[in-house]
A and B are shown apart, each in its own frame.
Chain A
Amino acid sequence: MNKTVRVTLAALFCVGAVAACSKKAVKTPPPPPPEPMAQTQAPTNDGAYTPESLDTVDCLRQRTVYFDFDSNEVKPEYQAFLACHAKYLRDRPSAQIRLTGNTDERGTREYNLGLGERRGNAVQGVLAGQSGQVTVVSKGKEDPTCREHNEDCWSKNRRVEIEYTAK
């Protein structure tokens, strides 16, 4: 099934349940695991990004930043792909991003809400963007991608997800 058909079906299905579907419509695919950024494609020299670039340009398809325990430092390996998203925001002033900050399970729910926001704010600082282009929401430890009690799992949950709410 090609993408146009899928989108149409999703839109039809949404008529009866607006709230539930509006969320699905903007939801990004599951984030890829972190990997070295050496062969990341830089933005093309011949012009600005277009909405299609979000699906076709490697560095723009990367949407997750991972963090160390209790840290909000954006590590160097994420700077390159974040630079692509920063350029996208410059190229397309109407584009909007929502950054969702998450934590691992250690510590209390409320403290982790604060920590998730701190991570979101750190990524927002790297992306820059014009006023209103980037919003930060913290989910703390509420939305884990993994539920085991070990570092391998915790490292997958300490993350900021980039979501385009307007392309």
Chain B
Amino acid sequence: MIPPMRKLTHLLAFALAAAAAFVAGPVAAQSLNVDITQGLKSATPIAVVPFAQAEGTPLPTDVADVMRADFNRSGKFRALDKKDIVEMPSKGADIQFATWRLLKQNYITVGRIVDAGGGMLRVEYELWDVNRQQSMLSQAFTAPAGDLRGVAHQIADQIYEKITGVRGAFWTRIAYVTAVGLNRNANYSLIVADSDGYNPQVVARSKESLLSPAWSPDGRKIAYVSFESGNSAVYVQDIGTGSRTLLASHPRGINSAPAWSPDGSKLAVSLSYVGNPEIFVIDVASRQERRITNNVSIDTEPVFTPDGQSIIFTSDRSGKPQLYQTSVGGGDAQRITFSGGFNASASVSYDGKQIAMVQGNGNVYRIAIMDRSLGGQVRYVSPGNVDDSPSFAPNAGMLLYAASQGTRGVLYAVSADGLVRQRLVLSDGDVREPSWGPYRQR
């Protein structure tokens, strides 16, 4: 059983430091409150035993807690509740398999944290198959105490991959926009956080709206749209240094909807200085613009396909918004969505096989996933009614999207089968425009 409303609160210190470093005045980024709103009984059971640690100062992070939350969020696993863990083995040799078979666990993880000297900790873990009583993984990480959450996510990723055959995406980051206050008193922040919402860090702040953050493929930069000049403009900002460049700011019309090419050398955007919104590709190094679409309709929300050869975008050339695909070389666009009166804001899975989108029918807007191998058939992964901005995790096992709760904007992380949903909510204000970052490099 997954507890229905497990509230976690975050440390603010990291966010404060980040705010001071990047922007004019130090203002704290509010942390997100995270709760699991729905569990899944059919998922694979796994026991994550609390990691043994030496006597002394308590560690800032319970590694096993972080891993359990990751597994539960994924929809693929169901972690045994901490309170139901009755034995505390820390090595494979100490596991009493009969106990875990009785608890109906398929897998068990044990581990220990030891002092590695020089302010570093060594985190060792083992994954065992309960029924076969076989070791599946035995690995170690060395890291400072402040990075134990990162270590926990990396262990969860290795276990996820070993059992499912799919790379884990827990050790990744997400970006989103927060809006606190209304109208003239509004403050917008672009935030980067861990995939579970921890460690929020302010990337940019504005009195005017921020939207459409997009991660560079190397995870070092974020392109986004800001209205701080009075009109929309596309910026590219280095997350580590805070340095920022203006990529598109035509005085006339919209400059919006940035999306990176898979090799990071180009950005697709929607610009309307030509009279109406059209898709352009901008070379990041030379700033040269190349027009891709030429149609009197609204053409926006471009995304590259994973092979970098095509662009999928939203257009209302048929009357209502639908998704179209065109070659990056230009030429005719093919319509690819036919069910639903409104289809927009595509997010493409890493293998190009699935396209998540906002699908509107009447006044109900939900997140739908189209499997391209199934002839355009869609499945819904969100309940509506004003859901927006789907963004696949890099392994396509989960998605983030924006939704509304009363008059407040909230985010959800949902498993790709739509069965497990976790809410990320700001205690004061809106959170919106989620974007899931790429895999991280150690």
Residues of A within 8 A of B (CB): 20, 23-24, 27, 70, 105-111, 113-115, 117-118, 135-139, 142-143, 147-149
Contact = CB atoms under 8 A, between A and B. Distances in A.
Contact of A149 (B254, B270, B386, B433): B386
B335 to A, nearest CB: 16
Nearest to B231: A137
A19 to B, nearest CB: 8
Contact of A114 (B207, B272, B363): B272
5 contacts: A20-B207, A111-B301, A117-B276, A118-B276, A137-B231
B254 A24 contact: no
B257 A110 contact: yes
A24 B185 CA distance: 12
B211 A109 contact: yes
A142 B300 contact: no
Contact of A109 (B212, B298, B404): B212
Contacts of A138: 232, 254
B358 A113 contact: no
A139 B209 CA distance: 9
B345 A113 contact: no
Given A106-B386, A149-B386, A111 B314 contact: yes
A27 B320 CA distance: 34
A118 B254 CA distance: 11
B231 A109 contact: no
Interface residues of B, number: 40
B69 to A, nearest CB: 30
Interface of B: 183-184, 207, 209, 211-212, 227, 230-232, 252-254, 256-257, 270, 272, 276-277, 298, 300-301, 314, 316, 320-321, 342, 344-345, 358, 360, 363, 365, 385-386, 388-389, 404, 407, 433
B253 to A, nearest CB: 7
A110 B386 contact: no
> What are the 7 A-B residue pairs with the smallest beta carbon separation, nearest first?
A114-B298, A142-B209, A147-B407, A108-B345, A108-B344, A114-B277, A110-B257
Nearest to B275: A121
Contacts of A27: 184
Contacts, number: 88
A142 B257 CA distance: 14
Contacts of B345: 108, 110-111
Contacts of B407: 147-149
Contacts of B363: 106
Nearest to A145: B183
Contact of A143 (B183, B298, B358): B183
A149 B363 CA distance: 10
A110 B300 contact: yes
Contacts of A139: 209, 227
A31 B254 CA distance: 24
Nearest to B188: A142
Given A105-B404, A110-B257, 10 more contacts: A106-B360, A107-B321, A109-B389, A110-B211, A111-B298, A111-B316, A138-B232, A139-B227, A147-B407, A149-B407
Contacts of B344: 107-108, 110-111
Nearest to B319: A70
Given A139-B209, A142-B209, A142-B211, A107 B360 contact: yes
Nearest to A105: B386
A34 B63 CA distance: 59
Contacts of A114: 254, 270, 272, 276-277, 298, 300, 316
Nearest to A22: B230
Nearest to A69: B363
B342 A110 contact: no
Given A107-B342, A109-B212, A142-B211, A117 B253 contact: yes
